[in-house]
Structure 1
Amino acid sequence: MKLYEIVPLCALFTLTQQAALRDECSCELINSEKAFPHDKLSAVEDSVSKCNSNITPQKTLELESLLLGLAHRLPKLQEDVSMLEKEDDGELYAVISLQVIENELMEIKQLIDRLNSSTLGHERLTADTAKQLEDLKAEMQEMETYDTMQVVKTQQVNQLLKKDLDQCRTQPDPAHQSTKPPRGNCPHGQFLNITGPIVYTAGEYPGSYKYGSWGRDPKPQAGKESWHWLVMLTSSNQFSNYVRLYSSLSALIVGVSTPGNVLISPSNPTTNTIQGPNVVLYGEALYYNCYNQDAVCRFNLTTKTITSLQLPKGTRFNSKGNFCHLDGCYPFTDLDLATDESGVWVIYTTTQDFGNLVLSKVEEGEPLRLGQTWHTSVYKQGVTNTFMACGVLFATRYVNKDVEEIFYLFDTITGKQRFNVGVFINKMSPNIHALNYSPVDQMLHAYCDSFMVSYKVLFE
């Protein structure tokens, strides 16, 4: 290339570079939208959190328990007043009956005082909460105006679609679903559902004993038809040496025990100590896991005598075959005692069954003996609790801190079993340590982290 051609090219390159350096572009961004009020959103979240902590199912159930206690007390008072009128001869018998009535009136007054206090508190809470909800609703409607791109609305639609999809996935195929579960020998008809809680109370020792069991005697002595019993594991959450009796459900709710404790042994733990929370009362006798043994003990409350029943060789005990869920196991729940319309049952597991549930009938009489035995296909450590109703074994599992599911049943009459029962229990505490079915009134009694809760079992 010639020299006179190179010089203009160099000049052109220099000019181009200088022009590029001088060119600058700038633009002004104007946001027409209002700034989102993050501080107001935080205040709304705090208000919602406080509202959730103030309004709990326990508050409603506390009121229901007090009303139930009052409903049980008033007919008893009327009955005793009638008895007083018949005995009124101006002498000793009238004085004793009058003393009984005075005690009952005192208990009723205490119930009414607690009821009035709870009612006033609930009225104030209702008024405050109603105003808070109105304020929250207004604030949320105001903040919805900031969602100009419909992001929140789209998320809500997506959540509804996801919920419908999950229900579609989990719903059993009708073609493969049996029309009805096996009936067993139930005089009430087909098992349908669990409703409640009906009763929720801390009793006379609120928060003191985490593990325990409670319920009614399905075969009571005459005059004790309304009695209730309570066993609390008072030593290391593992052992107990007495059963506590109450003359009625209302007496248990308000914490008035008559006749009080019936001692099994003088101390804990010792030879005949109760081990574990799974206890039942049947025919004026307490059935439980004998201390440090793979055996069932029967304590006669009348004669104060104890007999034991040895379980098959290989039965797991001393917290080696517990009920469990993903977060842990319930200690010393190797043996679960249960009652139903036909008597007493024991649920356990053995090394021969590789940890699956084994069910045996406990036959009354002397000596205590083991009746027919059934072997199931459900793994015991995948179960949180069991109970019997009408000859059918039901097993539960932990869903979350608010819900327990009855997912399995085994019918001792037909030998059939199901893993898709799908009945849910609304819990008042995260853990259910014991479940007892009462064939007297078809109630399911649960002991939950020191609280006593009952549910109604619905049949066809």
Structure 2
Amino acid sequence: MKKSLFHNNDIKTLLLLPNIVYYEVPFLPSDMGQSNIFILLILIPLTFTQSVKGKVCVCDLKNSDPAFPMNKLMKVETSALQCTGTITSQKMTELDRLVLGLQQRIKQLEDNVVMLEKEDDRNLYGAVSLRIIELEIAEIQGLFNKLNSTTTNYQHLSLQTAAQLDDMKDTMEELEKFDNMQVIKKERENQRIKRELEQCKEEIKATAPPPTVPPARCGLGRMVSVVGPRTYSLTVYSTSYPYGAWGRDANPARGDENKYWLVVLLLSNVYGHFVRQYNTLSTLLIGIGQTDTYISSSNPTTNTIQGPNMVMYGNALYYNCYNTYSVCQFNMTTRSVSTVALPKDAGYNNKLPFGHLAAAYSYTDMDFATDESGVYVIYASTSNFGNVIITKVQTSNPPVLGQTWTTSLYKGTVTNTFMVCGVLYATRYLDKETEEIFYSYDTKTKEERFDLKINIKKMQTNIQFLNYDPRDHLLYVYSDAYILTYELIFQ
């Protein structure tokens, strides 16, 4: 029903609904002519009363909405920030670290007791050994006490957080009751539409998709995303060694298909001298049943692993030989080492490493990658102005350098590389949470792309090692002492 409440014909009531009145008011800015008239729509929730005095209608309009409780909303925001600051990924993994540490100390104690039983001479040796065992038991008791204390603290934190969440839920339900005009609901819808609009704009401006690998080469389509992590765990070494590598043999011997290998750089985050192998992923995650194969007796010495980039292929480990510009091939069965030298101007000894604006990854001059066809070494040289070079490594014994491709990708702007079906992909650091696959080089067509935008969700700040396994299409990652896997999605 339409009704005029004022003598002034310029103000008209458009529609009367219960408790809400919409007014159409002509509005003429002072700097515009009569032909430019704006309309203001005034929405007023009200309590409507009417009386008649003579021939004039008088209306009293009162806002029927209570004042919005802004203090309650601010309290919810404060509680949410406190929860975010209290519950962190470091705290969630603290118990795991304590339990792993306790397991190792108990195992060491068992070994010492067995040794004492075998070699006790009932004299000075036994007394000293008993004293050492007594000290170890005291340290284990201290770990137990810390574990109990941490568990109790987490129980209190869990109860406190649950109570805060219930309180925030109740408060938000109460606040939504003030939404008489559906403002919150409409604002949410507007935000959703804005996000979809921005996404649509990005898709319109998006460049061509990443390279599509011809079916004849390995049967995969173009890579569209990276999902995960599928695996996320500390190793048995806890957080002691942030640099290392792990994965599976890309071309295993019969019977070794399920084995996993792990190498940590023990000395200065630069050098490693043995390979640890596990029969299954679960034994690796738990830290039991390992077999250690030593390349050299200590670090650093001839044949020592230098840098975190290495791969396993055909029961041999490929890595940067200590203090040289050579590729080392370590046979896991015979424990023999063969080498092949890169060009003399190739980067080594931390001269041309991976990195980004904030940091460099130490001794990553050479990166090794596996794909469906074998092993590659990725490096840079002064003759190529520090840009990335890809060389195929023939996995004979001794190894031989095969075909080489030069790129225009500057190695210092890259954090890691990997190969899929003859295509090199490079990643870069975006922020603490995101790594981006931004570059590709197709060794078949020699096509370079700098506009890939495929993100990897990081769990830790840095990625020291990354390699693709053609057997399961997973990326194996070593990130600040954590081991992870990500699944590559192909269209």
**Larger relative helix fraction:** 1
Q: CA deviation at 1:335?
A: 0.5
Q: Secondary structure of the residue that 2:309 maps to in structure 1?
A: coil
Larger mean Cα displacement after TM superposition, 316-325 or 278-287: 316-325
CA, structure 1 residues 280+53, in 2 after alignment: closer, same or farther (shift >3 Å)?
farther
Specify the SS of the correspondent of 1:420: coil
Aligned ranges 1:42-57 → 2 under 5 Å? 44-51=77-84, 53-54=86-87
| TM-fit CA distance, 1:257 | 3.5
Give the equivalent residue in structure 1 for 2:306. Answer: 275
Unmatched 5+ residue regions in structure 2? 1-64, 97-152
**CA–CA distance in structure 2, aligned partners of residues 291 and 179 of structure 1:** 36
Among 281, 289, 292, the alignment partner of 2:323 is 292
TM-score scaled by structure 1?
0.70
The aligned amino acid for 1:243 is V
- 1:137 aligned onto 2:169: yes
1:53 and 1:439 mapped to 2: Cα distance?
41
- 1:237 aligned partner, one-letter code: N
2:275 alignment counterpart: 243
In structure 2, what is the Cα distance between the partners aligned to 1:124 and 1:414? Answer: 60
What letter is aligned with 2:309?
N
Q: Is the alpha carbon distance of 1:190 and 1:271 closer, same or farther for their aligned partners in structure 2, counting shifts above 3 Å?
A: same
> Following TM superposition, by how much is the alpha carbon of 1:51 offset from its aligned partner in structure 2, in angstroms?
4.9
Aligned-partner residue type, residue 82 of structure 2: S
> How do 1:77-96 residues align onto structure 2 when only pairs under 5 Å count?
none
Moved more, 419-428 or 284-293: 419-428
**Deviation by residue 1:374-415 (Cα, 9 ceiling, x = unmatched):** 111222111111111111111111122111111111111121
2:266 aligned partner: 234
Q: CA deviation at 1:41?
A: 2.6
Paired residues in the alignment total 369
1:402 aligns with 2:416: no
5 Å matches for 1:338-377? 338-377=369-408
Task: Name which structure has the greater RCO, CA cutoff 8 Å, separation 6+.
Answer: 1
TM-score, normalisation: structure 2:
0.66
Supply the RMSD in Å over aligned alpha carbons.
3.6
**What SS class does the counterpart of residue 451 from structure 2 fall into?**
coil
- Could you say if the C-alpha distance between residues 269 and 158 of structure 1 is closer, same or farther in structure 2, counting changes exceeding 3 Å? farther
**Match among 321, 324, 330 for residue 352 of structure 2:** 321
Question: Could you list the per-position Cα deviations for residues 293-320 of structure 1 after superposition, in whole angstroms to 9, with x for gaps in the alignment?
Answer: 1111111111111111111131111112
Cα gap change, 1:163 to 1:220, in 2 (>3 Å): same
Cα distance change on mapping 1:281 and 1:53 into 2, 3 Å: farther
In 2, the alpha carbon distance for the partners of 1:58 and 1:300 equals 41
Could you tell me how far apart the structure 2 residues matched to 1:55 and 1:124 are? 15
Q: 3-state DSSP class of the match of 1:277?
A: strand
Q: Is the 8 A contact 2:213 2:219 kept in 1?
A: no
**Partners of 1:162 and 1:328 in 2: how far apart?**
36
What do the CA deviations read for 1:17-67 (whole angstroms, capped 9, x no partner)?
A: xxxxxxxxxxxxxxx99697659735742444325643759969x99xxxx
CA distance in 1, matches of 2:204, 2:70: 46
Does structure 2 retain, via aligned residues, the 8 Å contact 1:278–1:333? yes
Aligned counterparts, 1:57-68, within 5 A: none
SS, match of residue 252 in structure 1: helix
Pairwise CA distance, 1:235: 0.5
Corresponding residue number in structure 2 for 1:188: 220
CA gap of 1:191–1:37, structure 2 versus 1, over 3 A, is closer
The residue aligned with 1:443 is 474
2:266 alignment partner, SS class:
coil
Specify the code of the residue in structure 2 equivalent to 1:271.
Answer: T
**Match among 236, 239, 244 for residue 207 of structure 1:** 239
* Contact 1:183–1:190 (CA under 8 A) maintained in structure 2: no
Contact 2:211 2:442 in 1 (8 A): no
The residue number in structure 2 matching 1:68 is: none
Amino acid at match of 2:270: Q
Alpha-carbon separation, structure 2, partners of 1:122 and 1:440: 41
Give the equivalent residue in structure 2 for 1:216: 248
Residue 426 of structure 1 and its aligned partner are, at CA, apart by 1.4
Counterpart contact for 1:395–1:406, Cα < 8 Å: yes
- Opposite residue 301 of structure 2, the aligned amino acid is T
Match for residue 456 of structure 1? 487
Distance 1:421 1:44, change over 3 A: closer
In the alignment, the residues of structure 1 paired with residue 374 and residue 482 of structure 2 have an alpha-carbon distance, to the nearest angstrom, of 26
1:242 partner letter: F
Which runs of no fewer than 5 residues in structure 1 stay unpaired? 1-31, 64-120
Once the two structures are superposed, what CA deviation does each residue of 1:333-390 show, in whole Å capped at 9, x if it has no partner? 1100111111110001111211211111001213321100111122211111111111
Tell me if structure 2 keeps the 8 A contact 1:186–1:391: no
Show the counterpart of 2:288.
Answer: 256
Identity score, percent? 44
How far apart in 2 are the matches of 1:377 and 1:58?
A: 43
Q: Which residue of 1 aligns with 2:465?
A: 434
Q: CA distance change for structure 1 residues 157 and 231 in 2, over 3 Å: closer, same or farther?
A: same
1:186, distance to aligned residue in structure 2 (A): 2.2
Q: Give the partner amino acid of 1:343.
A: G
Structure 2: which amino acid aligns with 1:135? D
Q: Does the Cα contact within 8 Å between 1:200 and 1:454 map onto a contact in 2?
A: yes
